[in-house]
Amino acid sequence: EIFEYTCELGTVYHMFIKREIETKVDDTVWYDLITPYGYGGPIIKRCEAGRENELVNEFGHAFAQYCKENNIVSEFIRFHPVIKNSELFKDIYDVIYMRNTVGTNLEDFDDPIHSEFSKSCRKKIRRALREGVKFEVIENPDNFDTFKKIYYSTMDRNKASDYYYFDDDYFNSCLELLGEHIISTKAYFKGETIAEGFYFKYKNIIHIHLSGTLNDYLYLSPAYVLRYAITSWGKENGYKLIHHGGGTTNSETDSLYRFKKQFGKNTEFKFYIGKKIWNEEIYQKLCKIKGIGDSIDYFPAYREK
């Protein structure tokens, strides 16, 4: 859903997923809000110079009223590390630093592949290209048929949780609503698509969203070719940054973080989350029904399994 607040000071845009809470309280259905997969949180679309704090304050009052009228109990936000919207909204949400994310700086380096990619990473790319791996970058793709097959096989290999198995509705909605902002990057070997990436482009930033590689071709390191392809394409087309995201944990030894760090030796961003209880009374009742104290780290506590 989208909540857009506009007043004489400016406009705040907030997109989120509204989830029904299974447990009823006072014979009423309640909901909570989360950021769609990736990063988000409210953003200022326009504002009178120097009046950002006033606009955010007005948005906070309006959104609190929306939450009251729509039975919203709590909200969990994954703020965007590049936009840095956590700073502006820290007076509304409990903002907590989690970890760093990785980027490839296309603007400040003449050759970002040499400047940002690790030596071992560049070696794998050269080897893959020598072996005959080809690549292609496609803007506004028609479908995700091949991508889904490759992506699901990757999730199977990684024993990923159900959360990462996005359904057809998700992919169709992305194509329908965000098609002009989507880039597909493919790696081919002997005529077969062996790896594919699904990325977003907006203004001068490219965001790595999802990607996958077929098991039989891991030895060719096509995942590295995908990053090489989008970096070359992004530089040629005037983009300033590729944002790869971070790891699955807060550890600097996290394997996903270490993989992404190979493409951004010099560029990192701070990732923050935001928590907010919009209805304290119902939140406490839900915790009590579940037999869970509200002091646990998991948020919202009543969803702790």
- Over the stretch 197-255, which tens digit does the pLDDT of each residue have? 999 999 999 999 999 999 999 999 999 999 999 999 999 999 999 999 999 899 989 99
- Over the stretch 24-50, which tens digit does the pLDDT of each residue have? 999 999 999 999 888 999 999 999 999
Structure tokens at 252: 């600097």
DSSP state of 81: T
Asked if residue 294 has pLDDT above 70, the reply is no
All domains of the chain, ordered by start, with CATH? 2-99+271-303 (3.40.630), 107-239 (3.40.630.30)
- Over the stretch 102-147, which tens digit does the pLDDT of each residue have? 999 999 999 999 999 999 999 999 999 999 999 999 999 999 999 9
- Over the stretch 157-198, which tens digit does the pLDDT of each residue have? 999 999 899 999 999 999 998 999 999 999 999 999 999 999
- 304's CB contacts (< 8 A; 6+ apart) are 290, 292, 296, 298
Average pLDDT along the chain: 96
Element counts in the chain: helices (H) and strands (E):
9, 13
Asked if residue 265 has pLDDT above 70, the reply is yes
In the block, tokens 């001068």 appear at 204
- 197's CB contacts (< 8 A; 6+ apart) are 183, 184, 185, 186, 208, 209, 210, 211, 226, 230
- 157's CB contacts (< 8 A; 6+ apart) are 215
Burial zone of 68 (CB within 10 Å; 0-12 exposed, 13-18 middle, 19+ buried): exposed
Amino acid at 211: S
pTM of the model: 0.89
- Over the stretch 59-106, which tens digit does the pLDDT of each residue have? 999 999 999 999 999 999 999 999 999 999 999 999 999 999 999 999
